[in-house]
Amino acid sequence: MPATTAEVCIAACADTYRESGEVLAHAVGTIPTIGARLAKLTFAPQIVLTDGEAFLMSEPPPLGATAAAGGVIEGWAPFRRIFDILATGRRQSMMGASQIDAFGNQNISLIGDWNTPKRQLIGVRGAPGNTVNHRVDYWVARHSARLFVPKVDMVSGVGNDRARAGGAAMRFHHLGVIVTNLAVLDFDEQGRVKVKSLHPGVTAEQVRENTGFEIEIGDAPTTRIPNAEELRLIREVLDPRAKRTREVPD
């Protein structure tokens, strides 16, 4: 069976850890979680995974199970320790977003005016600290112009333009890529969002139509397809119940 869009997205999320070294991987969402675990089992055995609670795992369990129910536990990191790890920079986060603008500013807090928002979301959570202290990538399950906007209603995660204005205080700021169900995006020399690769079957016009600001595409290559061993791990070991298809239907 050929790779599905969800599986292409998983491999793209996994690829964010290729040069990470020994870091604590923080992944929000089904696809990013499988991606981090796939990286751990293949080309990035040095990254450290949690089971979503407090256990550190040398081998991940199937999706939805804690380490005690199928993984191999190698350590313990209670919540208070996460802040210490974050402050050292030895962490890498893939977060979601409700809005992202052309410079990678992210909003997960509210929609509309601050004083009278149309929607109250989850709040800034750990986004400011993450984007100040270590590499951050984003996962977007539904690439649309409602999410990729000219200006976010509130800045939760710091974008490249604001990081430059922050000077030395933002010296550890590092936005990596944005993986969506249509493409992998990264940033040009000015810090603006651009297309790094298009997923198989996706056209440049589809991306333009679903992005609320002008975006550079150029001769973007096709996003890599996971190899046979990666597909086996995804389908048989990491996500045998195919929960990935709920986040990205094919």
pLDDT tens, residue by residue, 215-225: 999 999 999 99
Amino acid at 90: R
Spatial distance between the Cα atoms of 216 and 193, rounded to a whole number of angstroms: 8
Which positions ≥6 away from 10 have C-beta within 8 Å?
31, 34, 35, 38, 226, 234, 244
Specify the pLDDT at position 76.
80
Burial zone of 245 (CB within 10 Å; 0-12 exposed, 13-18 middle, 19+ buried): middle
Specify the pLDDT at position 7.
98
Specify the pLDDT at position 75.
82
Ramachandran assignment for 23, one of left (phi > 0), alpha (psi -120 to 50 degrees), beta (any other): beta
Per-residue pLDDT tens for 126-160?
899 999 999 999 999 999 999 999 999 999 999 99
Indicate the length of the chain as a whole number. Answer: 250
Question: CB 82: neighbour CB atoms within 10 A?
Answer: 16
Specify the pLDDT at position 5.
98
**In which element (H, E) is residue 197 found?**
strand 193-198
| Cβ atoms of 250 and 200 closer than 8 Å | no
- SS3 state at 21: coil
Residue spans of the chain under pLDDT 70: 68, 70
Specify the pLDDT at position 143.
98
| Cβ atoms of 59 and 47 closer than 8 Å | no
**What tokens appear for 216 in the block?**
């550079």
What pTM value is reported for the model? 0.94
**What tokens appear for 201 in the block?**
């079957």
**DSSP sequence for 127-189:** HHHHHHHSEEEEEESS--TTTB-SS-SS-SB--HHHHHHHGGGGTT-EEEEEEESSEEEEE-T
Specify the pLDDT at position 148.
98
In degrees and rounded to multiples of 5, residue 81 shows phi and psi of -75, -25
| Cβ atoms of 247 and 225 closer than 8 Å | no
Name all contacts of 57-65 with Cβ < 8 Å and 24+ positions apart.
Answer: 60/238, 62/237, 62/238, 62/239, 62/240, 62/241, 63/30, 63/33, 63/34, 63/238, 63/239, 63/241, 63/243, 64/241, 64/243
